[in-house]
Structure 1
Amino acid sequence: MKLILTQQVSGLGAPGEVVEVKDGYGRNYLIPRGFAMQWTRGAEKQIASIRKARAAREIASIEQAESIRGELERLKVRLRTRAGESGRLFGAVTPADIAGAVKAAGGPELDKRRIEVANPIKTVGAHSVAVRLHSEVSAKINIEVLAG
């Protein structure tokens, strides 16, 4: 199945790329979640606008991504959220929460879709998440989740 990606998909590609995937993966996962759309000749024309929007948001060079990575890794990010007596959170910390906490801590504005949380953050304490800054550069952010 030939698809056009509308969002970044780890291990598959970036927005605007045309990819070939198995029918079930495309039909049952990528298309319903809005990560991709069916490839057609008409949709091929939309790729240019998707790429233009991506270029505006994209970190232009590896050097720029490296400098942002250094800034993020030095940053002390604290996130206050509701938690029970045992330190277990009511819900989980989302990538949007993390992006907001980074911005509040004085860091750069991050796209929540670039933040990868390996395991759901559901407890108070120190956690680490990855941020894809560039296709070749990713950063680790240390987050301290506090009850509050």
Structure 2
Amino acid sequence: MAKLILTHEVTGLGAAGDVVEVKDGYARNFLLPRGFALTWSKGGEKQVESIKAARVAREHASLEDAQKQAAALSAKPVKLVVKAGETGRLFGTVKQGDVADAVEAAGLGRIDKRKVELPAHIKSVGSYQANVRLHDDVAAVIELDVVAGK
């Protein structure tokens, strides 16, 4: 087991500044190469304190921003134009990145694609809902209108 300090939030594992123990392969092949974590050391304890202090300061300011953005996202449906056949079946599927790009194009602000949760694979035109975790305490439901185009 490898002991690591998280530098970014990792779903199902922890937030930035948390000290976690994970299997060696997960640490070596996923967390460390992508920069999501640092190896733990006694000197790293100082980094943990600074990361946690920065996180607390960001969370306080970002909670209010997240609530405002959640209200804006829930109020207006987002139109997603994708390639589709004559029967309405899509060429491919709608992914989290597509939703994040459509939200930004609609002028509703930037969201991280990793925070978008699609309930199922979207493979045909129609209306759908997606959840967005903007903050630990704030989530928004986005109405997606998937239409054929291009």
Length-normalised TM-score, structure 1? 0.75
Percent of aligned pairs with the same amino acid: 51
Q: Give the match for residue 146 of structure 2.
A: 145
> What displacement does 1:9 show?
2.1
CA 1:113/1:42 → structure 2, altered by over 3 Å: closer, same or farther?
farther
Structure 1 unaligned regions, length at least 5: none
Of structures 1 and 2, the larger Rg is shown by 2
User: Alpha-carbon deviations, 1:80-115, whole Å to 9, x = none?
Assistant: 011123322222222222112112212112122222
Partner Cα separation in structure 1 for residue 32 and residue 17 of structure 2: 14
Bigger Cα displacement from structure 2, 39-48 vs 120-129: 39-48
Partner Cα separation in structure 2 for residue 83 and residue 59 of structure 1: 43
User: Alpha-carbon deviations, 1:46-92, whole Å to 9, x = none?
Assistant: 65479759966x67243332222111100220010111233222222
Partner Cα separation in structure 2 for residue 79 and residue 66 of structure 1: 24
What number of residue pairs does the alignment pair up? 147
Within 5 Å, give how 1:50-89 maps onto structure 2: 52=54, 60-89=61-90
Q: Which amino acid aligns with 1:112?
A: K
Q: Give the match for residue 125 of structure 1.
A: 126
Within 5 Å, give how 1:1-148 maps onto structure 2: 1-23=2-24, 25-27=26-28, 30-31=31-32, 35-41=36-42, 48=50, 52=54, 60-148=61-149
CA 1:49/1:123 → structure 2, altered by over 3 Å: closer, same or farther?
same
Length-normalised TM-score, structure 2? 0.74
CA 1:79/1:25 → structure 2, altered by over 3 Å: closer, same or farther?
same
CA 1:43/1:91 → structure 2, altered by over 3 Å: closer, same or farther?
farther
Structure 2 unaligned regions, length at least 5: none
